Amino acid sequence: MLMRHSRLVVTACFAGLLLSVGAALADDVDIGAIFSKAMADQKVGLAKKTKPVDGRPTVVGEVVVTVIKGEGVETRSKPTEAGDVVVRNRCPETGNEEYVVKAAKMKDRYGDPKGTPDAAGWVEYEPKGVEMRYFLLGEKDGPWSFQAPWGEAMVAKAGDAIVQDPGNPKDTYRVAGASFRCTYNILKAP
């Protein structure tokens, strides 16, 4: 596992792309430049998250650790605020991972709840998000780390998808390969 402040040589190869960042800090990898190169090389498609999820209100100050089955910890949220929601994917192959969606983004991304909460507070939501640009990392790509939009280092690995909101290119993040296959529909392949 890469440590956030460890020094390393980062190499990202996909379809002929070789990006050397030298002896840089792990969170210095410029995911925007990598995504731009993928677009220039016509390796980017469009996909949309479509599989229903479960959501529950957070407890203010709660920290949610996203764990991907078979991989371990993906991210650790900042302490939550009022109105934030814990979203749980319905993907047994990834362990039904959970993550935080900020209150300001929840309605745009998932709309209104579909039904009433169960005894644990979970209720179904249907994704309403935008069509996302994506590219897939090949078997020789990664691992490398980059700064996620929420300020945490993310590690991208072979087989993962890197997704980007076309309306907000700074909103670029990793989706574990199994999660991407489980929750997204490809609208236009690269």
Q: Does the residue 165 lie in any domain? A: yes
How much is the pLDDT for 23? 29
> Cβ(139)–Cβ(118) under 8 Å?
no
Tell me, yes or no, whether 43 and 21 share the same domain.
Answer: yes
Q: Does the residue 2 lie in any domain? A: no
Q: Does the residue 1 lie in any domain? A: no
Answer with the one of 98, 125, 152 that is the final residue of a domain. Answer: 125
The mean pLDDT of 169-180, rounded to a whole number, is: 93
The mean pLDDT of 54-74, rounded to a whole number, is: 94
Tell me, yes or no, whether 81 and 112 share the same domain.
Answer: yes
Q: Which residue has the higher pLDDT, 45 or 17?
A: 45
Chain segment 91-128, per-residue pLDDT in tens: 999 999 999 999 999 999 999 999 999 999 999 999 99
**DSSP SS3 for 72:** strand
Tell me, yes or no, whether 121 and 135 share the same domain.
Answer: no
Chain segment 4-19, per-residue pLDDT in tens: 222 222 222 322 332 3
Of how many residues is the chain composed? 190
Tell me, yes or no, whether 158 and 177 share the same domain.
Answer: yes
Q: Which domain holds residue 116?
A: 52-125
DSSP string, 6-33: -EEEEEEEETTEEEEEEEEEGGGB-HHH
Tell me, yes or no, whether 81 and 118 share the same domain.
Answer: yes
Alpha carbon of residue 50 to chain centroid: 15
Q: Does the residue 67 lie in any domain? A: yes
> Cβ(49)–Cβ(183) under 8 Å?
yes
Tell me, yes or no, whether 25 and 117 share the same domain.
Answer: no
Answer with the one of 100, 125, 150 that is the final residue of a domain. Answer: 125
33 sits in which H/E element: helix 31-40
Q: Count how many domains the chain has.
A: 2
Q: CA torsion 163→166→168→170, rounded to 10°?
A: 40
Tell me, yes or no, whether 57 and 121 share the same domain.
Answer: yes
DSSP string, 82-135: TT-EEEEE--GGGT--EEEE-HHHHHHHH-S-SS---TTS-EEE---PPPEEEE
Which residues neighbour 44 within 8 Å (Cβ) at sequence distance 6 or greater?
Answer: 35, 38, 133, 134, 135, 190
- Position 151 confidence tier, pLDDT thresholds 50, 70, 90: confident
145 sits in which H/E element: strand 144-147
Alpha carbon of residue 26 to chain centroid: 17
Tell me, yes or no, whether 101 and 134 share the same domain.
Answer: no
The mean pLDDT of 60-74, rounded to a whole number, is: 93
